[in-house]
Structure 1
C-alpha cells in the first residue's frame, strides 16, 4: 500500500510471496490491468517449501486520486488475488448521527457525551456550530489520526416544549495537500467536510 506519493514520480514496493506448503510450488502471476501499476514480465517460477520470492511493483501515478488494482497469483492448487492500492490524504471523522435527551427539567442543564473518532489519514481540526437550547463543549479542537475525543452535548430548555436541533461539526485538515493539476504540481487548500448531529429533547 502506498501512503506517501506524488503524481508523476515513480515509486516501487515489493510483493513478497512465501511457500508455506510442504511441497515445491510452481507459481505464476498476471500483471495488474491498470497502467498505474507495473511489474516485471510474468515468467513462471518455482518455490521450494519455506522459500520466498520478491517481486517489485512499480507505481506510476499521473493524478492525485485513490488507485486500486489486483495482482492474480496462480498455482497448481488454485489462484488468489493480492490487492495493491495507493491512498490519498483524507480528513474524516466518525460522529454520531442522532442524540435523544428525552424528558428534561426546564431551566436546568442536562448533558450527554459522545465519542468523536478520527478515521481519516490527516489530523482533523474541528469547529462546532450549535443553537440554543443545545450547546457543545469539547476539550480539544483537533483530533490526531486514529485517536478520539469525548465531547459533551448540553440541553437546557427554557420552556416545556419539544425541541429539535441540528449540531454541525466543520472539519478541516491542518495543512494544504499537494495535487496534480494540468500536469503541474500545486497545493490545494485544506479539505473541509461537514458532519451533522440531530438532537432532540423535551422540556418538562
Structure 2
C-alpha cells in the first residue's frame, strides 16, 4: 500500500562533509547476478523455506552516491529482493513543486491504493503545509487531501485538517480533528482546510 505520506515522510537527506561548498551528487548502480556470501567460518548458507533462495550465492545490487565537491561517498547494498523501477516524477509526485492554493501549499504524492489513478486529470493525493516550507516533515503537515469516488464513480475529494494526536481521522502518525468528504475539486478541499486553520479550529 502506498500513501501520500510515503512520498515525503521518513526520508533522510544524505550528508556531506562539513564545509562542502558545492554539494552535488553523482549516482551509479551496479548489479551482480552471482555474488558470494561470506560464511564467516560457519556452515553453508541455506534456508528450509522452499520459496526462499537464501544461499552462498546471491544477486546483489549496489548503489554508489558520491559528492563531486567534498568527496563524501555513500554505498548502499541490497541482496536479492530489491525492487527498482524507472518513472517520471509526474507519475508519483516525486520532486513536483507544491501548489499554492488558498494560502497553503499542496504537495502532490502517491495516492492511496493508486490503481487506475493515472487515467484521471488529478492522479495524486496531497499533503498540506503552511507557506514557507521547502522540505516536508511530519511537523509541517496541517492537512491531507485524498481522491475518492462518488456514488456514481465520479472523482471527488476528501480532506482532513487540524492536527490532533487523538484525532479520529487520518493515518498514523498523522491524525486530525476534522474531516470533510466528497468535495468537487482540490481547490475546494484546500479552501475548506484553510478556513479551519484560519479560524483556529480545535
**How would you bin the TM-score normalised by the shorter chain?**
under 0.3
Larger relative contact order (CA 8 Å, sep ≥ 6): 1
**With structure 1 as the length reference, what TM-score do the two structures score?**
0.21
When the two structures are superposed, what TM-score results if normalisation uses the length of structure 2? 0.21
Judging by fraction of residues, say which structure has more helix: 2
| Higher strand content, 1 or 2 | 1
Which protein has the larger Cα radius of gyration, Structure 1 or Structure 2? 1
